[in-house]
Structure 1
Amino acid sequence: MLKAIGQTLFSSGLQHPKFTPQESKGDYEVRTYHATNWVSTAVPGMEQDTALSTGFRRLFKYIQGTNEKKSKVEMTAPVSCMIDPGAGPACESTFTVSFYIPEEHQADPPKPSDSEVFIENRKELTVFVRTYGGYANSENSQEEILKLMESLKKDGMKFKESPYYRAGYDSPFKLTNRRNEVWLIKDEE
């Protein structure tokens, strides 16, 4: 428990999903993430930050032992949130909050006990990534996704406008040198 809290507070030494860097442009990079298992929960709602908080709490319970094996699972980074916007301005969006499952559990992740939590097998995925600092919230994440779209359009890159991802690497208690990202999926067509 103390180790998990320490890792959550200081975000150092956390395992990350493996990816192959493709290229780096001025304000974004291209990465291909390998196929991996993540533990996820979908939260419908209107407010991104509230949904992220709800999803994080569900997943934190899972890594603390709310799973069929009652086993503790190491905290990892990033915490990703796939945002699938609703059809209109007053429609609910779906926010899928996810933790990468550490290497030692990749082959056989503990099954969640909570019916709202599931194991997600992510296929290989190529994304455009824009990194930014500070404390992420729905407003600055939206600004960063728009900047990324603008850069990709300028460079003639093909991408899917939705869903898109927001990824955070740091605990709320880390005050400086914070790392956040937004990801857009490369359109392979």
Structure 2
Amino acid sequence: MAIEEPKYAVSFQEVAFEIRDYQGAVAAEVTVTGDQKGAANQGFRLLAGYIFGGNARRQSIDMTAPVAQERVSEKIAMTAPVTQTPTDGAWVVRFTMPSAYTLETLPEPSDQRVKLRKIAPARFVVIRFSGYAAPESVEERTAELIAFAKERHLRTIGPASLAQYNPPWTLWFMRRNEVMIQLEN
């Protein structure tokens, strides 16, 4: 069974780096606190509750990938797919909703912490890596991505987002992770 991922077109690729143009989407997201792993677990549970029937219609919604996480930023609105990012211990964890839904057709979340929002089309610079998405690995990949963007004179905006594509039982060497940063248009 295939899991839906956000739709994008690759406009540039070099080894593990890509520049992607993402279509608009709708996402469910929560803001949680803690370290990267704890926030990811807490956010995932809250969002899973929503898609597994914790909504006004008690309707199940198909799971999509990736789960995104990014640090909360005072300056920039979050625009990545399913992501998690850290700032002062606050993280936004996001599930992109299946493309069959719009903001108007999704059921209202039962938990007030779950927010639905429209994500505008956007361009991102991305680096892909396998293994566990430990904070050290994410920081290292983020630094590589920032260096790549600077070398190519790409203007980034907002925080880096961590996108994780696999369920927890996936073997470490088969895991697909990405760090992505939005680019200025």
Among 84, 97, 100, which residue is 2:96 paired with?
100
SS of the residue 2:100 aligns to: helix
1:129 aligned partner, one-letter code: V
1:60 corresponds to = 48
1:127 corresponds to = 124
Separation in structure 1 between the aligned mates of residue 92 and residue 130 of structure 2, nearest angstrom: 22
2:45 aligned partner, one-letter code: R
1:32 corresponds to = 21
Quote how far apart the aligned CAs of 1:156 are.
1.9
Instruction: Say whether 1:155 aligns with 2:152.
Output: yes
Separation in structure 2 between the aligned mates of residue 121 and residue 112 of structure 1, nearest angstrom: 15
SS of the residue 2:16 aligns to: coil
Separation in structure 2 between the aligned mates of residue 141 and residue 186 of structure 1, nearest angstrom: 19
Quote how far apart the aligned CAs of 1:109 are.
1.2
Instruction: Say whether 1:48 aligns with 2:44.
Output: no
SS of the residue 2:146 aligns to: helix
TM-score normalised by length of structure 2: 0.86
Separation in structure 2 between the aligned mates of residue 149 and residue 119 of structure 1, nearest angstrom: 29
2:154 aligned partner, one-letter code: M
1:167 corresponds to = 163
RMSD of aligned residue pairs (Cα, Å): 1.9
Kept after mapping to 1: 8 A contact 2:27/2:95: yes
Quote how far apart the aligned CAs of 1:49 are.
1.3
Aligned pairs, number: 172
SS of the residue 2:6 aligns to: coil
TM-score normalised by length of structure 1: 0.84
1:3 corresponds to = none
Q: Which runs of 5+ in 1 are unaligned?
A: 1-11
Radius of gyration: which is bigger?
Answer: 1
SS of the residue 2:32 aligns to: strand
2:174 corresponds to = 177
SS of the residue 2:149 aligns to: helix
Kept after mapping to 2: 8 A contact 1:85/1:93: no
- More displaced, 103-112 or 114-123? 103-112
- Identity score, percent: 28
Separation in structure 1 between the aligned mates of residue 53 and residue 63 of structure 2, nearest angstrom: 12
